[in-house]
Each structure stands twice: as structure tokens, then as C-alpha cells.
Chain A
Amino acid sequence: MSTADGAVIGTTQIAGSAPRNRAFNVVLLAEGFTAAQQNDFNNACMTFVNTFRTTPPFDELSAAINVFRVNVRSTDTGADDPVAAGGTGATVRTYFDASFGGNNIRRLLICNTTTALQVAAAQVPEFIVVLLVVNSTIYGGSGGSVGTYSLAGGATEIAIHEMGHTAFGLADEYPYYAGGNETGHDHHPAGEPGEPNVTTNSNRNTLKWRWAVASTTAIPTMANPNCSQVDGRPNPVPTGTVGLFEGAHYYHCGAYRPEYDCKMRALSVPFCRICRQVIWNRIGPLATLSARARTPISVIARFPEHLDVFAVASDGRTVSNWWDQSSGWAGWFNLMGGIASPGGPGSPVTAVHRYAGHIDLFTVGTDNRVWSAWWDAATGWHSWFQIGDLVCRQGSVINVVSRYSDHIDLFTTASDGRVMSTWWDVRSGWAPWFHVQGGVAASGAPVTVVARYPFHLDLFTVGTDNRVWSCWWDERSGWHGWFQIGNLQCRPDSTVTVVSRFPDQLDLFTTAADGRIMSIWWNSRKGWANWFHVSGGVASPGSPVTAIARYSGHLDLFVIGTDNRIYSTWWHENQSWAGWFNVSGGVGMPGGQVAAISRATEHLDLFTVGSDGLVYSTWWDGATGWAGWFALGVT
């Protein structure tokens, strides 16, 4: 009744072909199979694979899933079956010491979990989940760090439910502890559970899965009228409706689940929409990101050893990835079901960090409304909510600036091109949207903003005459009217990129109607200079010019050229502009954008969508120069 009662025979990969170091690896261990019964184990494994890989959402994620079987022979067949728990009294010699009758409950099938984990780690060091397949037709199973199940019909469902806990951190959604007749489980204790699929919050506006709730769905969707018992009434809404159903997390009342039914509530039913999303976000990040072709990428550095990147996937889903010096790239994950508006390059996810432990996101949804979400180091991600009822242009960009940590200013364009703004302040919340000084932007032109001081804003856009226009706001004097900057004629969808290298200096970059990359500057002593062509550069139609000032006497520019290669140039104080050069052989999407950030003075990180539709990154370091481009995923 130990490892002396058998031996590990060997390991075989039976499903999947993903690289083992970046895959969701499932290991099946044989228990209670004699040497002559190994084919029975092999067949049981295939039964599991067939069930597992056809269970949504695993059916969509199979490219990132590997399954291994570890053949282990035991001296005897089956598992112990103690009489005290209603069993036959069988005592057998098996490798992992499996036994029915844990806690004197016959169906509770337990094993030596340390041995199981050690064998799995020795055979498949990269395993994520380990399941013990017990050679018995007595029904049984259990969860925990090692899931167990027997060969009785339907027991594979136990394994998949337990995977929900072990691999995905999902909570039980059933509304009782011991079947419903227990005491002390009428009302859920105060406090919000950390798991993503249960909640004590019945406020639609702050519900953690509100992104999946239709506005027409009642909240709560189903309330338990008698908390002394489980609500056994049928589902009042169509199957698959996401809402708020009372009774979850072992309590009859006060805790809610997202759908009426889910595999985390009962076996043999599908995972609910929220659990499927969580599973996707666990396995999906193992892959690279196929991005919306021209998605503008946002990147922020909350501190020098950390990056947060935001983009839009090819199906419109809002996604993020992050890098930390200690752990590398985390992998792409979906941002709470958000779908960004198409049109032009498509609405990006714009990000701002008001302080190091907080991120605010903004995008225009498929309803052309402005949506926001936030992340806080203390509480994690909070779901999307709508900001006012402004109807934007399809594909509009939300530009955001945080002049100080308790304040945000937003700028975008309405469906008729009007330049619109709103602001949020910690003391007063969100203000109504307002039209900025009568300004109207050309079709596709975003509104860019810079705060040279905490009490000053400068706005830029391309007007309906295709000229560059600006206006400003100052805390002491309010908004000032729009004025034209020079006489440059732009593409109507040109972005006016602005950099303030120091508070009394502005540098603007944009593309002329013929694609020439143009610049102009302003400073408080000399006013506006004249537009000039930057080193003969010409941009791919629609490609914005990215500019970054690593320090006050230096500028770096990035753009997609007419040959779709990624180009850069730089300006250094008292020197002329350098010639354009191709960055590490990179090729981007026609009209695409290159995102850049400098998290340290002598360091740059770049991001773009490559010619194959994947998101790529590279970096420059003062000590080592330019690195090669790499597909951004998980490291």
C-alpha cells in the first residue's frame, strides 16, 4: 500500500502538440491498474480526452492543451473500500494508496497526494493539472491538488469540475453546503468572495460580471424568497442568460451566481459564460495575439520595471498583457469581455495610470458609447461601465490625460465630428460631456491632448478643412478658442502627435496630405515656428507619427513607412534630425501604428502589429542597441 506496490512504466502524450513549456498540460496517472490492465487505463484516458476536448470552452482552446498519460502498474486492482463507509472491505496494494470512504463517505475517493504530485512532476515537470484515474467501477472522486475519479459512468465530469477549482480558481456555485438541509447556511457572510464567478454584490453598476449582463436582464434575475431553504424553482429566463441568481458559494441567500446553471454548480451541464471567460483567460495567454490589423497599441509604465500593454484582438476583443522584470511577459488576456468599435484602425484601449497602483482604461464600444474600466492593486480588475451617453464616431479614439492623481480629462469626437470632453474628479465624479469651443474634427481625426502643467491643457486636431487646429484650457482663464497652426494641409484622418519636452515647449508631428512627415514647434519665448518636413520621411497612408522625449533635449520618432517597414529617426539638441532608419528589419501593417515608451532614460520599448497580424515588440537600450522583434505573448 505504497510505492512499493507498483512502479511507473512510462509517459505518453495522447493529445495536443503545443510546446510543453507554454501549454496547458494535463497529466493522467494510472492507479490500481495491474501490468496486464494498462490498456484499460489507456482507453480510460482516451475517454477523458474525448470528453474534455469537447467541453466548451476547452474545445476552442485545444491548440494550447496537451494531455499526457502516465502508465503506472500496481500489484492489485482498484482501491481500498472500507466497510465503515459502506464498502466491501477490500484492501488492495496500489501505488498511490487510493481509497474510497474518505471522511467515511464511500464516494469520496482519496489518495496519497504527495506521491501523485511527485510522480507527475518527475514525468511531466510542466504539468498544470494532475488527475488520478482509479481502476474501479464504484462511483467516486474528489478534488484538491490532485483530482481523482473512478471508471464509473460520468466520473470524468468530476475531473472537469475539480479542474475548475485547481487550475482556474473558480468557486462552487451551488447554494448549499450539505445538500440544502444544513443549518447556518441561510445567509452568506459579509464580504466579497475573491473568486470571479460568485458575488455578494447585487448592484448592477458595480457587479464584477456586468460586462456580460444585458441591460434588459433584471438584477437580481432570481431572488430566493425563503432563505431557510434552497430556491428550487425553475429558471425564469432563457438558458444562457447572464444575470444575478441568488444562491451560491454554499449559501441559500446573499450570494449570487452568474447563470442559472453551470458546471461549477452541477455536473453534466456546461460552464457558464463567466467561467468560460475565466478559463479562456487562463489558457488563451499561452498563445500569441492575432490583433486587429491597425489597432493602436497603448502602453504605460507604472514604474520602470513594469509595463502594461493594451490592444484589440482580431475579433474586436479588448486585451492586455504585462511585463514585469521579475516574471517576464504575462500573456494576453481578455479585458472583461470588452469589444472595441471598428472603423478606421478601430477604437483603441487607451490607458492612464493616475498613480502606480491604479490603471484606468477607456474605449469606444460597438454601441459607439464611451466605456471605462479600472484596475487597482488592492482589488484587481473592475468591469466596464459607460461614461455618459455620448454617441461617438465609429472607431473613435479616447484620449486621456491625468493632470494629477485624483483627476482625469477625456477627449474624443462625437458622431458628427464635434470635439467633446468630460472629466472625472475624485470629489465630484464624472461631469457631463461638453462640446469644446465649437470645434469639429475631420472624419477620422483624433483629438490629442497634453498637460504641460497640472493647470493647463493644450488640444490638437485636424479640422474639417484638413488644417491643424489647437485650443487650450487654463485653470485661471478657462477654455480659449480654436486657432489654426500654420497652413499645412493634412490627411483628414491624420493624428497630431504632441510632445512637451519641458513645460514651455511643444513639438507637434503629423502627416501632410501626401504622407510627408511634418513637424512644428512652439515655445513660450518665440511662439510658433513653421512646419518643416522631417528628414524626408513619408508615412504609410494613415500611419500616425509616434514621438517620445526620453529627456528634454532629445526626441525619437517612429512610423510605418510607405514600404510598410518600421522606421525611426531622432533629434538631439543642437544637432539636426538624423536620417530615417529601419528598426531591426521590422515590417508593420499598412497604416499601422508603432507604440513607444521610455521607462528609463536610456531604454525604449516598441510595440506594433506585424505584417502577419501578430503583436510584436522590440527594445533599444543605450548599452546594447536595438534588439530584434519578437512576437509578444508569454515568457
Chain B
Amino acid sequence: MPSKESNQPATTRAARLIFEYEGERVRLVSQQVVEMVVTGFDIARAHHAGVYVDARDAEDRTLSRVPARDAFATSTEVFPERAGEAIVRVDTARPKGAFTVVIPVPQETNKVAVVRVVPAQLDAKLPAGGTTSRVAGAAEATDLATFPLTLN
């Protein structure tokens, strides 16, 4: 589209965070500003069960939330050497490892939180004749840890 001026909106500021965990204990190992987009795929809008990282302001309001898909894994996969054999899972005695997320951090962000969300309680009954939606209860989120954001 020819335009008298080009005005691509600025990319929202994002931060890469690296966490280490052992059991339910988690610590923030590093935080850095990163110039990259975070697509809607990685910005949690629905409240599915799982572990998430929140960016929050001074009043503890959540500004953005992204999933931490590899956090606190209690099992790991073992792969077969020959095609056709089964992939199996083995329990991890004590979850230990690291994970990373890239999260939008608007200027008012002053902390990040690692959050565990348990599923919403759904009313599975659908009205006769169809519906556009089921009625959902509220998902429950519990903070596992919070850390100050000290990006420049």
C-alpha cells in the first residue's frame, strides 16, 4: 500500500528470563531485554492448567502472561533406537533443571512471577438446542515465586 508515511508500530519491549528449579524451588538466573516479537501463540489468553510467567506492575496487576512449558517436569522421555519401538517416559526423582521464557514487559513492569494455574471447573452441561459456550468457573492461580525486574 503506497503511503505518505510508514509507521510500523514499535515492537513491544520483551525480556528473556532464565530460571533454574529444583523441586518447587525456583530462582531467576538471568534477565535481559530482547528485541523480538512475542506472537499471540505464546501470550496466554485462556487459563489452561500449567505453569506460567507473569509480568506485573507495582500494584501486582498482571500485564502479560506466557506459558513456561518445560518448567518443573516430573518425567522425561526416552527414545527408542530402532524405528517402530516405543517412546517411553520415566519419572524424575526430583525435578531439577532450567527453563526460559520471552515475555512482553511494558514499561510499568516491575516484577515477574512464576505461577501455577489449576484448571477451571467447567459446567459440562450444554443447553438443549446447542449453545455458543459452556459456563466456566474461575481458574485458580498460585504464585510459586516473584522476582523484581531490573532491566535497564
Contacts and interface: CB of A to CB of B under 8 A. Distances in A.
Contact of B79 (A158, A358, A628): A158
A166 B1 contact: no
A584 interface: yes
B130 A374 contact: no
Query: Which residue of B30, B80, B91, B132 has the most chain A CB atoms within 10 A of its CB atom?
Result: B132
A627 interface: yes
Contact of A180 (B38, B42, B70, B86): B86
Nearest to B136: A378
Interface in B7-23: 7-12, 16, 18, 20
Q: Which of B30, B39, B78, B97 neighbours the largest number of chain A CB atoms within 10 Å of its CB? A: B39
Nearest to B30: A118
Nearest to B90: A103
A326 B86 contact: no
B36 A327 contact: no
B70 A376 contact: no
Contacts of B41: 281-282, 285, 330-331, 333
Contacts of B120: 378-379
Interface residues of B, number: 79
Contact of A142 (B43, B77, B84): B77
B46 A376 contact: yes
Interface in A349-366: 354, 358, 360
Interface of A: 20-22, 102-103, 105, 107-108, 113-114, 117-118, 121, 125-126, 139-146, 152, 154-155, 157-158, 161-162, 165-166, 169, 172, 174, 176-180, 191-192, 194, 205-206, 250, 265-268, 281-282, 285-286, 321-322, 324-331, 333, 354, 358, 360, 372, 374-382, 385, 387, 408, 424, 426-431, 584-588, 610-612, 614, 616, 618, 627-631, 634-635
In the A-B complex, the 10 residue pairs with the closest CB atoms: A429-B129, A330-B40, A610-B1, A378-B136, A628-B7, A585-B4, A194-B48, A380-B46, A628-B5, A328-B12
B30 A178 contact: no
A172 B87 contact: yes
**Which secondary structure dominates where chain A touches chain B?**
mixed
A117 B12 contact: no
Given A126-B35, A142-B76, A378-B137, A428 B127 contact: yes
A139 B81 contact: yes
Contacts of A426: 127, 131
Contacts of A585: 2-5
Contacts of A144: 70, 73, 76, 97, 99
B97 A145 contact: yes
Contacts of B80: 267
